[in-house]
Each structure stands twice: as C-alpha cells, then as structure tokens.
Amino acid sequence: MTGHARAPIKITLGHFTLMETADLGHHISRRYNDDLDRLRTRVLAMGGFVEQQLQKAVRALVDGDSALGEAVAMDDYKVNDMEISIDEDCSRLLAIRAPTAGDLRVILAIIKTITDLERIGDEAEKVGYIASRLATMERPADKYHEIKHLGRVVAEMVHDALDAYARMDADAAVDVARRDRLVDEEYEAIQRQCITFMMEDARTIRRTLDLLWVVRALERIGDHAKNICEYVIYMVHGKDVRHTSLDDVQRELHARQESPPAPAATPPIQ
Amino acid sequence: MTGHARAPIKITLGHFTLMETADLGHHISRRYNDDLDRLRTRVLAMGGFVEQQLQKAVRALVDGDSALGEAVAMDDYKVNDMEISIDEDCSRLLAIRAPTAGDLRVILAIIKTITDLERIGDEAEKVGYIASRLATMERPADKYHEIKHLGRVVAEMVHDALDAYARMDADAAVDVARRDRLVDEEYEAIQRQCITFMMEDARTIRRTLDLLWVVRALERIGDHAKNICEYVIYMVHGKDVRHTSLDDVQRELHARQESPPAPAATPPIQ
C-alpha cells in the first residue's frame, strides 16, 4: 500500500493504544472513519471492562471475598448492554455506509468479537457466583494458587488479544492464540489433581466440583480470547483462519509479507 | 403489510419447510431473493447435519457404540467447513448487495446462527469423544436413561429452533426458547444425582465426571438453540431480545401484533 507515508495517529484508551484505521483515499468519508474508530474504541472499552470482571472474579475466589464475587455477577448486565449497543451501531453502519472489502471486515470482526467478549463476561459471572458461594468454606491454599495462576494467564490472553486488535497486529494475534494450548494443558493438569483430591476424600467432592467449573470457565475464556485473535487475522488479512492450525496460519502470513499485500485490506497506516 | 395477498411459496428441504422471504417490491432484485433463499437453505442444511451429529453422539453413548462416537468426532470438520463457506457468502452478499433493514437483519441473523450451530457441533463432537471412551466400560442403565431423555429434549429444541427459523415464526421461537429452562432443571437434577453417585462410590468418580461433561454439553446445546430462537425474533421483528425475559418478549410481540407491523422488517408473505 503506497501513498500513506504519514505517521500513524494513535488514540489512547486506558492501557490500549488504538491504531487508526483511516485510509482516506479508500474510505467513503472522514465521517465513516470517525464512526469506525469510535466503534473500535467502544469494543476496547467493553474488552477492558470484561477483563476487569475476570480479574475481580478470580480475586474474589482466591481471597474468599463473597461481596466481590457477587458484585461481578451483578455487573454482568453492563457487559450485555454494551454488546447490544455496539451490535446496533454495527447494523446501523452497515445499513447507511454499505462498506466493502477491508471496511466490511472490520465491522464483521467487531460483531463477532463482542459476542466472544460477552461470553467471557458470562464465564466471569459464573466464577463470581461460585466464588461468593465458596467464600464461607475453608480454602485449600495449594489449589487456589494454581487457579490464580491460570486466571492470570487467561486474563493476559484476553488483554493481549485486545491489544493485537487495537494495533491490528496479526502476528501478535497468532502469538496470543498459540498460548491457548498452554491454557488447555494447565486446565488438564488441574482437572487431574481435582479428581485425585475427590477420590482421596469424598467429603470434598462438592467443593472440588465447584473448582472444576471455575477452571473450566477459565479454559473457555482462553478459547474466546483465541477466537478474538482469529478475527484480528481475518480483519487484517481477509482470511478466515478458524479451524486452521496456527503453524499453517503463520507460514501463510509470512509468505504474504514477502509478496505484495492484498489490496482489499484496511491495514494500519505504515 | 398490504399488497402481498398471494400464497406463500414453500421450499421443502428434508424435514424443514422454508418460508420464502421474497418481498419483490422491496428487494433490489429477484437475484437477491434467490441469493437470500439459497443462503437460508444452506443454513438449514447445516442445521440438519448438526442435529444428526448430536443424535448420533447421544446414541453412541447410550448404545456404547465406540465407532459411532468416533465417527461423530471425525465429521466435525464438515460443520466447520459449512460455517466458513456460509460466512463467506454472507460477506459477499453484504458487499455486493448492500442490504438494509429486514434484508440486512436476515444476513446478520445467519452470521450469528451459524456460529451457534458450529458450537453445537463442537459440543456433539465432545459427546462423541466421551462416548467412544466410555464404550468399553460397564454402563449403569439408569443414568444413561436420563441422559438419553435430555439428549432427545435438546435435539428437539435444535430442530424446532431451525423450524421456527425456516418459517420465520417469532412466536414459535419464543416457545422453543422457553424450553431452555426445563433443560437447565433437568441438567441440575442429573448433576445432583451424579454427585451422590460419586460420593457413594469413589471408584466411579472418573466415569461420572465424563457423564457430567456430557450433560453439561447437552445443557449448552440448549443455550445455543435458545440463541438461535433469539435471532429469529430479531430477524422477524427487528428487536434484539438477548438478555430480555421471555415473558417481556412475548408481551411485546403480542402488543405489536395488535398495532401495525414495523415497515422495516421482511416478514413471511401473509
């Protein structure tokens, strides 16, 4: 893409930096760019809120903070409201601007991304509920340590997926998506420990099952973060990489970087 | 909506009847109607395949048929391929036809519906894997009986959600969505039984956990079927009813039926 030599304009939102997508020669109007940037900023705001919900839910469990767990569950409606509102704006923008190619992909990627963010919110809500239920019980320090670690890993995945989204960085998205395998391995390991624990002492079965649901929720959050990474790759490169191995994706992205980029995309300004 | 007195044309696909959405005075072209109907037919074909996958997976578990369980898991790639292919056609149609109002909603509803169908496919795949693993073990007849029943209930939900989609019948969609509560109750009851079973005999913990994952997968399939019902309501009435109580939705739909319908929708021809 030539003729775009000016420096990228960056919009800072909390701890995310939004790479401006404007390609003025390509877009219908400056107004459309503003609409798109506003939408993407709102996705990041929703993502930031969901990330906080997740962190709070795990902290509620680890600290045995019943009120915090309940607060997370009570706040899930805010995530739902954000999803519906952004979704409506996407429909409106599709109807009035009739975007094509890269601009269309940006909006379709948003529609999918907010669905995954909403589901991450649902999983955080579940963790919040369980945390408030378990708060009154005695906490086995060792197991929560591992859940705390897994919680940190998936929260980082969500954060870094949103960061790759903000910067429209497909390579970073591939790197984040790769971490999902580690999440799965950690989940399997904790699950095995939980089973051993239940077999050793049947009185712990109920509580341990609750913990199993928590680690399952965290594992699913990793899946959703991976989905978001796949939308970033789709948005930037116009290729749907769901159900494709990450090695194949990376090979293809590098092959593309060595050949001229596809004209249809709306890449960040170089 | 006046001036549409001719009888609806019905397209029959397997056991679904597709209500033709054509509103020729409203659409850009006959070609566009054909494109939309073809897309909707493909969604129903995907739905029919996913429904079969679910039924086979549950049968594999109940009959202890390891080969059938494996076959379900092996065939999941077909569901993924259908999702990507339909998704691409939706993008293409959005780009070349730039639909608005009801026509836009039909396509956005398809994009969301196939995501849920794909996830139902994933859950069926999991059940298939677990079924093939459990096939060699002794089967406790009583518990599989209840899983068989729950499997039938959610398969019917998926079928009836797709039927409501085919007929663009928002009232039927509300009825199907309501059944999700029964699924949740049945899931909770089986879960309690499983816990009792594990507490009584620690040697059954591993196998019972596998069954817990199966009923959890079935419960999630109910959620996905409910999501599809919500897209039907959105498609027909232009209202996003996710995160709204079904009683409120039904009240509003009935209030609308007593007042003139919104002009923006593309309802089935009366």
**A47-56, A195-204, A257-266: least confidently modelled range:** A257-266
Q: How confident is the model at residue B32 (pLDDT cuts 50, 70, 90)?
A: confident
What is the average pLDDT across B206-215?
94
Look at residue B111 in the predicted model and tell me its pLDDT. 96
> Sign (positive/negative) of CA torsion A199, A201, A203, A204?
negative
The domains of chain B are located at 10-251
Hey, which residues does B19 pair with through a beta bridge?
A: B10
What is the average pLDDT across A160-184?
96
**Cα Rg, chain B, nearest whole Å:** 20
Look at residue A139 in the predicted model and tell me its pLDDT. 74
- Mean pLDDT of chain A, nearest integer: 87
* Domain spanning A10-251, CATH class: mainly alpha
- Mean pLDDT of chain B, nearest integer: 87
What is the average pLDDT across A253-258?
79
Q: Do B94 and A83 touch (CB under 8 A)?
A: no
What is the average pLDDT across B193-211?
92
Task: Report yes or no: B77 and B118 within 8 Å, Cβ to Cβ.
Answer: no
Q: Do B104 and A94 touch (CB under 8 A)?
A: yes
Look at residue B23 in the predicted model and tell me its pLDDT. 47
- Token digits of residue B58: 């549950």
Q: Best mutation site among A113, A198, A200, A226 for testing chain B: the one with the most B CBs within 10 Å?
A: A198
How distant, in Å, are the alpha carbons of A119, A224, B156, B157 from that of B226? 15, 20, 12, 8
Q: How confident is the model at residue A255 (pLDDT cuts 50, 70, 90)?
A: confident
What is the model's pTM? 0.87
Q: Do A104 and B83 touch (CB under 8 A)?
A: no
Could you tell me which residues come within 8 angstroms of residue A75 by beta carbon, excluding any fewer than 6 positions away? A53
C-alpha A78/C-alpha A242 separation (Å) is 29
What is the average pLDDT across B183-205?
94
Look at residue B259 in the predicted model and tell me its pLDDT. 66
The one-letter amino acid at A216: R
Q: Do B115 and A111 touch (CB under 8 A)?
A: no
B207 contacts on A by Cβ (under 8 Å): none
In the stretch 204-223 of chain A, residues with CB closer than 8 A to chain B read 205-206, 209, 212
What is the average pLDDT across A162-171?
96
ipTM above 0.90, yes or no: no
How distant, in Å, are the alpha carbons of A132, A165, B157, B184, B188 from that of B178? 28, 36, 10, 11, 17
What is the average pLDDT across B78-94?
96
Q: Do A195 and B205 touch (CB under 8 A)?
A: yes
Look at residue B8 in the predicted model and tell me its pLDDT. 47
Q: How confident is the model at residue B242 (pLDDT cuts 50, 70, 90)?
A: confident
- Interface check for A264 against chain B (CB to CB < 8 A): the answer is no
Q: What is the pLDDT of residues B134-143, one digit of tens each?
A: 998 877 766 5
Q: Do B111 and A111 touch (CB under 8 A)?
A: yes
What is the average pLDDT across A156-173?
97
Q: What is the pLDDT of residues A45-76, one digit of tens each?
A: 999 999 999 999 999 999 999 999 999 999 99
- Alpha-carbon gap: A219 to the closest alpha carbon of chain B (Å): 14
